[in-house]
A and B are shown apart, each in its own frame.
Chain A
């Protein structure tokens, strides 16, 4: 961090944060409405709007640019919708047709004016966030970069939009038909959103480039979506992630190339990369929907069920001949599992003192016998219940009961017991053990 300079880097990071937050706020709704690619489409399609604005106003002042871009942004959404509806073209394809055509049109127009415009397409794509502190205006006596002012106001507008129309946006995201029937215009919300997307895109890529804004429209909300199921939380998390990616992105842009002996690299690019890394982390380790989390949870459940199966199997063996035991290999082949799982489960059960292992022979302890009895009781009560109340075919009883037994607690067992009239034997003629051994 040797070359960190608050005067410069502070402003750069602030610009990045504003851009990311402005985009992420709207991006939540794009992601939820499955229109993620619309952000990308609009950011490309506004090119002719910028060009026309330039031709008309003959300057690069912001207002005409905003107007031109907003108009073309809405036109993009309109054209896409028309081609989809009237031409019956798939949504993605109609979007592709519209934005590539508009981009090509914009390119032609810009090249026409190439001699007296400094609308560099490279600048539009990659942006020049590093140079934002150089272009300043004075507000209340303080010299502030123009981009910060512009993006700051866009953040305020977007935040107001999201807060004021939160209910409407939520409803039109999840159920546009219901939204229309309750009396507000879902398609008006849609086009308002499109206007803001276009405005945000223009405000952003004037200073920070196209990539960053497209990334921020999609990636932080997508990451937030992996973490939560509530819209309010999702928006809040996406804002936090956007800020994080902006700050870490700039730091990474300064630091990472240094490891390989280079000076800093494009900040906007690194911000996008950092947001991607955050998305990856959320997708892997999200508390409910993460890939790794889900895998671990499933594995734990599988092991717990295997442990249940082991004690239940030992109990059934005991039923046949007193003080029966089995070696782990027999258990493994009977329960159709692999040796690693079996070893883990046996160790776990030993720790819980439900079994004891002597000279490779596995035996139930008293505690284990209690646990096993409850399992077997659940199993046989379920079989009885299913055969008497749900008239399930006898051949299929065992499988059903086998899957229910692991999730049956004492209260449910009591209810089953009452519902089946306190039976003593199950449909296969086996005795149903009592809840506690003392009672027998």
Chain B
């Protein structure tokens, strides 16, 4: 048990911040993201013997975080009740429904983080998986259920947008 506790504590210390960042990038609500990630790690410890053998335990935590939180689900469901059923066919149903409640003022971080949170859902997801879980194109493709070429395209679009933002910020800085 002590050994399990030690390996879990080590995993938690190494993974918690990145998992929170991935979930935050998806849900864009700091408090909800923290609650979701804490709940997911709780579940991971409750089933640690299984989770520790998972090929990608960080991805397990992220997915569980997004699955498990009832209150977030209820809020999500209320806000994106699929009034337009076509949204579900895009692979990102209701993604933009969350945009209105993105409250970057309550979040730490700077302008680039705010720029990431303004990206469309898929671009945010691709960027987050690349940045915080070090997923390559193939892994991201499998997790998101989209073609590798689509992952590359989303990543390229996201980087272009962020680069524009960065140049703009840089320009504003130099004018001051």
A associates with B: no
